A and B are shown apart, each in its own frame.
Chain A
């Protein structure tokens, strides 16, 4: 197991290194100066001064080494837009609402999805199954920003049940959470249904029935655990959808999170912030994939043992 983890961590570091390097050099290749949008009225001297101030006059390899070593110290450079504010500060400032919203959507969405998928499988080919399938197709199909827009218009603007936007108290998180969780919920429900149906059709469930075990115990003691284990694998795609989702949902509901900052930074060419956020996303993504794999091994006795022998 230790060998396996080491191997995986090394892979992860290589992947991250490639991502960071690619991001860095792509940023260097970006057309135009990052200071364009201050008004386009910069003199050559002023621009040279700014370049020097941000260390952009140095040779690219030097900047690269500085950036890489900086990352190890938690230094992601300074923003071009917010008077020398360190990118790390900006991210830390804004990570709270994003993490809160993301965690809330992930937890509620996956629990609801699992319940929905489980009942769909138990009541296979009944109205419960059909309803759950329709909900899942809708959840997978409708883009989160469309969904967010419709929720916001009807529940907040028109019927005034919830606040329209901003991030002040728990009630403000209701609509964005719903909008953000609908996709993870749908994929979770689908996956759970498929797994549960497969488990319910398996020989060991039949054997449990042949032992005289009641239906309820067959479901909860034998089937549920076996069906839940593979559901862990959807955590990867779910995290991606949450990251994608926060970009638009935070913008729509004016939530001061990382996603909103990212979209603003794109429109203002604030390269250091874009890079910092990109790297953060990449780390998050790679970490989740690693955690999923390890968790899977921990929970499934088959892999647990196989890993142990390694």
Chain B
């Protein structure tokens, strides 16, 4: 017994010889940079939600216009100003009923004036409600809300306009998704410009350094001293509003931020050993820039590009809103919102749908960009 345990102990206290690389093996498995970033991204619920929203909107923008038979430009004045109506979603308020607020000395008079001015037969009025009793403030007028089955009143009982129609009776579902396509196109275009012009400019400036860098930086300094807004407005006035003008305006101003970031990164990277090593091995400038530096600045480029897209979408809609954007009959989310402002007090659905879509799109891109930044650059994570 005693001998046995002693023997076992002997065994236990034998020396064990290590394999050379055992120590390394026992450390945690090293994930590649991109795999690690991907894991961090998928753990970020906000970013994934943003991605889903974007994919959903992009898909609808592509297939939405094909989902019904209405076309983008076909006007149908009989069907003007019809609110949203969706089969099966009436309970959500998408029931095609339109509420008009009308005023009159008495309830009856208000109603009568309403029917006349909107050209509606009384039998289509479903509901009448007084929203404001007469008082000093409103010169003793009644304000009456009358709810009308406007589809029936216009003889469109069998039609379903999912997002309603505009003043010319055009289907807003089709127009809004086509408009979303344009907005997305602008966003992607801006991103491309950023990637090409900004990366090249910043890369060259940072890589060559010295006098080249100095001159290139002076140009950037002057350009960035000029408010973007001013440049864009001047360019657009010069070129006539439209897609081309917006494209050129974005080309002139959009890449500066990217150029600065890339230059900073390149400056930081270019003195690091692996670039020196490539140099001593005889790699030429172009090769070093393409094979070594660009892959290393990829993450900042991706992050910055992702922030460019929403700001370009915003800028286009903003320009359209002040009348410098796309011109009819082309529509973007911005122009649709701009038109909706003309009569949204009576027809709020015209504003609501494009407003919600552009907001979701912007939120989606912004939180995805935030998530990407956190995932790709843990140092920047705050």
Contacts and interface: CB of A to CB of B under 8 A. Distances in A.
Interface of A: 11-12, 14-15, 18-19, 22-23, 26-27, 29-31, 137-138, 140-143, 145-146, 149-150, 153, 157, 193-194, 197-198, 240, 243-244, 247-248, 251-252, 263, 266-267, 274, 278, 281-282, 285-286, 289
A12 B222 CA distance: 9
Contact of B363 (A12, A27, A141, A198): A141
Given A22-B234, A23-B230, A267-B323, 6 more contacts: A141-B365, A142-B359, A193-B382, A243-B229, A282-B230, A285-B225
Contacts, number: 110
Contacts of B279: none
A140 B366 contact: yes
B229 A266 contact: no
Interface string B218-250: 000110011111100111011010000000000
B8 interface: no
B318 A145 contact: yes
Contact of B234 (A23, A240, A244): A23
A251 B322 contact: yes
A252 B222 CA distance: 33
24 contacts: A19-B226, A19-B230, A22-B234, A31-B238, A137-B46, A137-B370, A138-B363, A140-B366, A143-B359, A143-B362, A146-B359, A149-B341, A149-B344, A193-B382, A194-B382, A198-B382, A243-B227, A248-B321, A263-B322, A266-B233, A266-B323, A267-B323, A278-B230, A281-B227
B310 interface: yes
Contacts of A149: 337, 340-341, 344, 351, 355
A149 B351 CA distance: 8
A150 B348 CA distance: 9
B177 interface: no
Nearest to B307: A140
Nearest to B354: A146
Contacts of B221: 11
A31 B240 contact: yes
Interface in B351-382: 351, 355, 358-359, 362-363, 365-367, 370, 382
Interface residues of B, number: 40
B324 interface: yes
Contacts of A23: 230, 234
B322 A266 contact: yes
Nearest to B317: A143
B314 interface: yes
B345 interface: yes
Nearest to B236: A266
Contacts of B235: 26
A140 B366 CA distance: 8
A252 B230 contact: no
A141 B310 contact: yes
Given A31-B240, A193-B382, A244-B229, A150 B355 contact: yes
